[in-house]
Amino acid sequence: MPTPYGSRGGMAFSAAELRVLRRTLAHALQSSTAPLTAPEVQDCLRLAQSVDEAVQEAGRLRTFLLADLARYRSALPGSLSGYLELLQDALAAGYEPTPDDLAALRALRANPVAAVLLEHAQAVAGRALRRRLPAAPPPRTRLLALAGGRDSTKEPPRPQPSRPSPETPPRPDRPVPTPGEVFPPRRKPTPPPAAGLAAG
């Protein structure tokens, strides 16, 4: 049966188990679709069950390690050497130190091992905090292609001489003529002289 190995989630396999793994991987990589024999299938099922049991055992070991770490922390400073050793193992196994761990290490920083472990634990706690925080939005970029946008690295534009706005009419040099001057009234046409009067 495979067994947990070390504090980093490793697993140890026996020679017979490695042979089953190698045979299964070779079959998976072959292009043929020939099925495994019945004994080979049984070996694979037994190995999968053993791996599941080893994973559960690793979880139990981790739970025991963390409970032991809490007991040693509560017994400080008398359990200094045991606490530091357990904390090192837990950090190597992926443990994220709690505020209690950081407070205990700060109180023990006179010990050189505790001082080094405090720096490492603070770095691990900082990474864990950044991982839990939401990702920061990307920085906003300047829109230089739009009208009115400009690059702040370039020279500012020189001021242009003031011009009257097109809505303001220019001031006339002479008075504006009245409608009567522009359009004089029509004179009534004079009747032509009568013919009789001209003959008499």
| Cα gap 16→39, rounded to integer Å | 14
Of 104, 11, 25, nearest to 59 by C-alpha is: 11
10-residue mean pLDDT profile of the chain (200 residues): values are 61 79 77 75 83 81 86 87 88 86 90 91 87 70 56 60 60 68 70 59
- Residue-level pLDDT at 119: 92
- Residue-level pLDDT at 148: 53
- Residue-level pLDDT at 64: 85
- Residue-level pLDDT at 5: 60
Q: By the 8 A CB rule, do 18 and 1 touch?
A: no
- Residue-level pLDDT at 4: 63
| Cα gap 140→152, rounded to integer Å | 15
- Residue-level pLDDT at 134: 75
- Residue-level pLDDT at 66: 85
Q: By the 8 A CB rule, do 121 and 35 touch?
A: no
